[in-house]
Amino acid sequence: MARKPKPWAGRFREPTERLVEEFTASIGFDRKLASHDIAGSVAHARMLKKVGLLAAGEARKIETGLKAIEREIEQGKFVFDPADEDIHMAVEARLIKKIGPVGGKLHTARSRNDQVATALRLYLREAVDEMVSGIEALQLALAEKAKAHLKTVMPGYTHLQRAQPVSLAHHLMAHWEALERDRARFADCRGRINVLPLGAAALAGTSLPIDRKFVARELGFASVAANSLDAVSDRDFVVEFLATSALAMTHLSRIAEELILWCSAEFGFARLPDALCTGSSLMPHKKNPDAPELVRAKTGRVIGDLVSLLTVLKALPLAYNRDLQEDKEPAFDAAETLSACLAVTARCIEGLEVDKVRMAEAAGAGFPAAVELVDRLVEVGVPMREAHGIVGRLVRSCLDKGVGLADLDPKELARHHKALASVKPEELSAEASLAAKRSTGSAAPAEVARQVRRALRRAKR
């Protein structure tokens, strides 16, 4: 069977060996760019017509052919041939087969170098919008769950040791804030993605009278790349997408870890619905939080995607090198992984069943208002470090006796400092600790309610 000639075969005496052909082919994965490649080609054809490099009939024939190819791909009728190397050559070869030699005019004034960069930017622009939508859905789930638990008290932790009481709402809204930074980073990243490289050609631009700004308007790009060398070699926008994705996955992993801990018998703070869990093939009593466990694990994949591309880029000379073919799989993987993890995390938050009693018991155990006692002493003029020592010795006394602060009588409190004599037992509860907070952004019920209202208002816009 005759081998398909390459578009660049004119300079070569020998055909590409099958081994090299298979090794260098990217069509197995970059077919994901098909719709974006076709969108770029349609805009390019319209521009060629505008500047007189294509006749009106030729441009119409090319655009009709490209739309027909897009339908073939969507319907699963398109035959992907590894000999075409990548999706860009595959579409062009099919176009020429469908409409004849005029299809060969489509590649006028462009190279695969600027063509692939354009398609990848279109893909990532769309992916960013999907990530932002997924983040906002998870933020809404967190805010709605927080609204339902404004009065649910739980321990706040440092070093995974009980530290000070907070509300479950306050805890959930802390994750909302981290995701808000992710949302802002993606929105900011989108601006740097939204720059058109098409028209840079292979690396030096073209002597043909093209109109790059016209193509930018057709494709919704905010601007055109200012330097043709940079346009075809720049993958900063992919790195930025991967870095933002890796950080977002890190935030999801922290949520996942807490869900796993809270659903353990040792914590007993919450349960996930049966429909969101799996069981054991051997132990009939098991109910496993596999979804958050996999979110935690998949974080490593996305971090790896970032490291992989940085390693590819670290020593590349200008301009285009075939190494840049390795930019796509990490981008595709990160986008698909993060999208799935956002969706499953949102579902876990929506379905989370909270044991309010168990959380309250844990929050009230020990010394939930120890810091408030320090603050009480500070307010009567005791230096903070001295007040800290006084309450520390008070706590030590409680530990020796096996009691909590609320179990001490006024005389015992007064022995440590006279200003503590007026402290009532009800002032030493977890709820009282929250009510005593005054600072902006604190765990004070009114502050948390304000945070939740703000989040829900934003979600309704």
Q: Cα dihedral sign for 392, 397, 402, 403? A: negative
The span from the CA of 204 to the CA of 227, in Å, is 9
- Percentages of the chain per state (helix, strand, coil), in multiples of 5: 70, 5, 25
Active site residues: 159, 280
Distances (CA, A) of 205 to 115, 210, 365: 13, 10, 70
Contact of 190 with 122, CB cutoff 8 Å: no
322's tokens: 């075939």
Contacts of 300 by beta carbon, 8 Å cutoff, 6+ apart? none
Distances (CA, A) of 433 to 44, 163, 442: 65, 12, 11
Contacts of 35 by beta carbon, 8 Å cutoff, 6+ apart? 70, 73
* R_g of the chain computed on alpha carbons: 31
| 3-class secondary-structure state, position 325 | helix
Contacts of 109 by beta carbon, 8 Å cutoff, 6+ apart? 44, 48, 53, 199, 201, 206, 208, 210
Beta pairing, strands 223-224 & 270-271: unpaired
- Angle value at C-alpha 95, between 94 and 101, nearest 5 degrees: 115
Instruction: Please tell me what DSSP assigns to residue 375.
Output: H
The span from the CA of 369 to the CA of 76, in Å, is 65
99's tokens: 């409409």
Contacts of 18 by beta carbon, 8 Å cutoff, 6+ apart? none
